[in-house]
Amino acid sequence: MLIQWYPGHMHKASKEIKETLPNIDLLIEILDARIPYSSQNPMLAELRGDKPTIRVLSKTDLADPALTQQWQTHLELEQGVKTLAVTTQQPDKIKQIIDLCGKMLPEKSETNKVIRTMIMGIPNVGKSTIINVLAGRTIAKTGNEPAVTKMQQRINLKNNIVLSDTPGVLWPNVENRNSGYRLAVTGAIKDTAFQHDDIALFALDYLLKAYPDLLQQRYQLADLPTDATSALQAIGKKRGCLRAGQQIDPDKAAKLFLTELKAGTLGLISLETPAMIAAEMIELAAIREEKAAKKAARRRR
């Protein structure tokens, strides 16, 4: 899927992040617990180096708890990475981030030196709410729409921690096609950037395999459809998503389904597993090799 939404302020923010990173001691990346891989910023992976990093899995109240635990174990295999699973309704747990910063940089915390941190996250992942909890006051504007924060700011927290906030940043080219879909499903991308039925069909194809019982129970389907198109039709029929001639309106049915999925109405659902991503990375590597071979062949002509 090609994302047709990359506001100018995101390009500016990406540039500012690259300029600021060399002066940062520790990174805090807020991930969506439903899509821990797809919500990671690939730019950060390239520029992080060996900086200590806290990966905060937000929105765990919407994610499958067993898979959240799998992801924490998987992410902490990386050198210098610690994880924390939270929801925006758990201020006490969010505040553990401050203590974790000190534990990861004991040479600074024990000598009362300033710890310079940077917090990052995709749009609509709960970053602003987390910042307000850490600061103990309203500093960052919150909202349900992606891309609320527009500019970088520095915030003094307790324990000699200075936090650099950054706007929610997407990247202009989501290389893994499936990750693009997952970002759309979870609300990181404005819904004007894609077709609702296309995204809904992707999600339904996954749910039919991973969470068939939740799907069947939510929409009271006597017989579970075998494919995504039939499932969307069945949901539209159950919920009266009709247009002229009593035909199912796929766009209306898709909007209804995606709204309920994002809100957690269907149940606790995660959209990717470490094993799935490992398989997709193998596929992506093959695609890259093919593109490189074609490019090399063009040069030889």
Segment 255-276, tens digit of pLDDT: 999 999 999 999 999 999 999 9
The residues facing 58 across adjacent strands are 32
Give the 3-state secondary structure percentages of the chain, helix then strand then coil, rounded to 5. 50, 15, 40
Range of the domain at 69: 8-165
Average pLDDT value for residue range 157-163 = 87
Structure tokens belonging to residue 53: 């990093």
Residue 242 lies in a domain: yes
**Lowest-pLDDT range of 30-44, 50-64, 208-222:** 30-44
Output the average pLDDT for the chain.
87
State the Cα–Cα distance between residues 102 and 67, nearest whole angstrom.
28
Same domain for 154 and 61: yes
Model confidence pTM above 0.85: yes
Burial track 75-85 (b if 16+ CB lie within 10 A, e otherwise): beeeeebbbbb
Q: What is the pLDDT of residue 146?
A: 43
Same domain for 93 and 160: yes
Contacts of 291 (CB under 8 A, 6+ apart): none
CB 26 within 8 A of CB 157: no
Residue 105 has pLDDT above 70, yes or no: yes
Residue 48 has pLDDT above 50, yes or no: yes
Rounded to whole angstroms, what are the CA distances from 192 to 146, 200, 295? 12, 14, 33
Same domain for 222 and 95: no
State the Cα–Cα distance between residues 148 and 9, nearest whole angstrom.
11
Q: What is the pLDDT of residue 13?
A: 66
Residue 42 has pLDDT above 50, yes or no: yes
Same domain for 111 and 58: yes
Same domain for 157 and 87: yes
Residue 218 lies in a domain: yes
Residue 66 has pLDDT above 90, yes or no: yes
Average pLDDT value for residue range 160-167 = 86
Give the three-class secondary structure for 84.
Answer: strand
Residue 243 has pLDDT above 80, yes or no: yes
Same domain for 150 and 14: yes
Same domain for 33 and 160: yes
Same domain for 151 and 203: no
**Lowest-pLDDT range of 3-7, 12-16, 178-182, 213-217:** 3-7
169 vs 159, which has greater pLDDT? Answer: 159
State the Cα–Cα distance between residues 45 and 247, nearest whole angstrom.
47
For residue 34, how far is the Cα from the chain centroid? 7
Residue 284 lies in a domain: no
